[in-house]
Amino acid sequence: MLAALTDREWMWAAGGLYLLGLILGTTSLIKGGKPSGLLIYIVILVGYALQLMGLGLRGKVVGGCPLGNSFEIFQFTAWSAISLYLIIGVTFRSSLLGYFTSCLAAALTLSSLLIPEFDATRRAHIFGNNPWIEFHAAIALFSYGVFALLALTSALYLLRLYSLKSKKIGGWFSFLPSAIDLDQIGLRLLISGVLILALSLIVGSVYWSHDFQSVSRFKLIVTCSVWLAYLVALLLRLRGILIAKRFGWTGILLFAAALISLWPVDSSRHTAPQTTPTHQAHP
């Protein structure tokens, strides 16, 4: 029975679990209690496994890493962010990070499922069986997952700064990690994201140096601009200029801008060698 499920149905199930984690956390906060970090972690972990099944099935259909339209890009970005959370979530020991991760994952996963235009056409073999370009695209999108988690920790950081300034340390504010811990985690995520996206550009340049005419100039400019913006933020942070609130808001606003940039990048792609309508895939 499970083998008969389509890739989108697996992802619907994953989105439902991410939403469940969000509901569980919200209910606990409304009641004035602490969200169960272990419970939310397990819910996210199961959702992650289901989403991985969906991405795997989609990858088999399109003949490569599923990054051919906005739907697949949103799903892969959510999957990347959750991958990082599952790795650092235990050491971070913050139930609120799991709660915010559920919120992000549910928003990206379900919104892409609910907008038919995002998955109206399924592009196959978009990388032309070129492993360099496929690897470049995969790690570039993975860096967006890093930046997504950075945006989450930035939101927690701003909440912690607000609680300290307003002297509100009780209630659910007491569940927040310290400002110092959040600042250091944010810095490490920013460094990681900049390095991973830089690696993506280096890998891509190996191919572009031999066939630069095939490169989408607009896509290259947008990707380099995103990397440059995060690099400038990192340099300003290391120099002690971008700190406290400015650092927190920068992490959130830069990710919002990076996410918005995915639409024009996707729409600017050249027509793929093979396309498959996906109307029948919609549940």
pLDDT score of 281: 42
The pLDDT of residue 270 is above 50:
no
Asked if residue 21 lies in contact with residue 44, where contact means CB atoms within 8 angstroms, the answer is yes
Residue type present at position 120: A
Mapped onto helix, strand or coil, the DSSP state of residue 147 is helix
Pairwise CA distance, residues 200 & 224, whole Å = 10
This prediction has a pTM of 0.80
Q: Is the pLDDT of residue 82 over 60?
A: yes
| 270 vs 72, higher pLDDT | 72
Name the residue with tokens 């340099």: 235
Q: In which band, very low, low, confident or very high, does the pLDDT at 128 lie, cut at 50, 70 and 90?
A: low
Asked if 42 contacts 140 with a C-beta cutoff of 8 angstroms, the reply is: no
A 10 A CB-CB count for 81 gives: 25
Question: What are the pLDDT digits (tens) for 20-77?
Answer: 988 988 887 777 666 677 888 899 999 999 999 999 999 998 888 888 888 999 999 9
Which one of 88-92, 179-183, 243-247 scores highest in mean pLDDT?
A: 243-247
Cα–Cα dist 95/100, whole Å:
9
68 and 123 Cβ atoms separated by less than 8 Å: yes
Please report which confidence band the pLDDT of residue 122 belongs to, taking 50, 70 and 90 as the band edges: confident
Residue 268 clears pLDDT 80, i.e. is over it: no
| Mean predicted lDDT score pLDDT of the chain | 83
| pLDDT one-digit tens code per residue, 155-198 | 989 999 999 888 877 666 777 778 898 898 899 999 999 999 99
Phi, psi at 13, each rounded to 5°: -65, -40
Quote the tokens at residue 34.
């602490």
| C-alpha radius of gyration, the chain, whole number | 19
pLDDT at 251: 96
